[in-house]
Structure 1
């Protein structure tokens, strides 16, 4: 069986249905491997979103310009 590409999995996470997404959704219904991969992708995205936002220090640009 051919599994979905990372691009196809990412498209399934998006807000709208793109052309070709319907066949990907049907594939997901029967492919445990791709469902697990999408679950792992969702977990990674959740961990990344949980990271604190970093702000550069005030003296960053002067230090770069020096």
Structure 2
């Protein structure tokens, strides 16, 4: 007997079909953002995540951006 059943739809980032022009971002084969020099993706733009993981990832991306700005 199952304790938990989750019915979820698949996630596909909007950048998989429409990539923003002039933005130097690298993407994986599914259209999710890969971190690069000066570009810090966070949350579901990087991969499908739960809400708590998104919050942690966003905090991490913000700290990386701050560290990058301070080094310049």
Q: Specify the TM-score bucket, using the shorter chain as the normaliser.
A: 0.3 to 0.5
Which structure's residues are more often strand, by fraction?
Answer: 2
Length-normalised TM-score, structure 2: 0.34
Larger radius of gyration: 1
Which structure's residues are more often helix, by fraction?
Answer: 1
Length-normalised TM-score, structure 1: 0.36
Higher RCO, 1 vs 2 (CA within 8 Å, ≥6 residues apart): 1
